[in-house]
Amino acid sequence: MVEIGKKIASLRNNAGKTQQELADFLGVDVKKIGRIERGETKTIKNNDLKSIAIFLNTSINDLLENKMSVSQNQNVSKSSVSRVSNLSVSDSSMFPTQNKLSLNSVPQSENVSLNMSISNLPMSADMIAVPFFKDSTASAGFGVVNFETEVAHIPLSKPFLLEVCGVMSLKGLSILQCSGDSMQPTIQDGDYLLIQEEQNIKEGSIYVVEYNNEIFVKRIHKYPKIRLLSDNRDYLPIEIGGEENIKIMAKVITSISIKKI
């Protein structure tokens, strides 16, 4: 991977960009960029390569013209999601707070068509490519199993994420579509969820969880026993037994109705 690393470093320097800016764009530690550019990384995931190409205003083919090795696995491995008991979360690389955003408060300028090619969208160092799990859904209903899928990337501005959405870190953000009406009026059927890994479970916050091989979007209440609650009163609480495990996949930061351009 030495040659491709040198090419990335050369293109980055020619563009007047720093390793830190590239790291922020990818949502990774700057040390990872250093390892890539020094050729110390054996493979580069295809999704990371796409984001690097976007940042450098070039193409993947240009980066790979020397036929360097690239990992083609675009699917999310469920093994990367930590299994937890009693709602404690260990380190997970799948997603990385709080603040929910009213659908009506999303600026119109942030509306993005998910059907557009990312190459047709304006990019800059002030934007970050957020993974979007295409054709995947998390259920705000009775539960669905449909999470492993192709990953695309959606460009979102850092000021929008930090100042409007209120995220504390740009690492590990992802976008997933919600299906069902159990979280209405907070989350509508078909809304897109901006989600992020969360180490500390906050009482009453909304999370994407896997329970009994189904994926739910629910509020979590821990006391007096663990319960998954819906905002729609037509749905009964799901009570979690003391010996049962659930997977805390991510915390819902906000739901967004994305309009097609």
Residue 50, phi then psi, degrees to nearest 5: -60, -45
pLDDT of 53: 83
Query: What does CATH list as the number for 1-64?
Result: 1.10.260.40
CB 11 within 8 A of CB 58: yes
Rounded (10°) angle between helices 19-26 and 46-55: 130
Residues near 214 by Cβ (< 8 Å), separated by ≥ 6?
Answer: 139, 142, 143, 144, 145
pTM score, two decimals?
A: 0.53
pLDDT of 146: 45
* Domain at 127-256, CATH class: mainly beta
Residues near 173 by Cβ (< 8 Å), separated by ≥ 6?
Answer: 27, 95, 96, 128, 130, 131, 161, 167, 194, 195, 196, 253
Q: Which ranges of the chain have pLDDT less than 50? A: 67-121, 142-147, 260-261
Give the residue from 204, 210, 241 showing the smallest Cα distance to 226: 241
pLDDT of 86: 35
Enumerate the domain spans of the chain: 1-64, 127-256
pLDDT of 79: 30
Q: What type of residue sits at position 26?
A: L
Residue 90, phi then psi, degrees to nearest 5: -95, 175
CB 93 within 8 A of CB 172: yes
Q: How far apart are CA 117 and CA 161, in angstroms?
A: 21
Helix (H) or strand (E) holding 177: strand 174-179
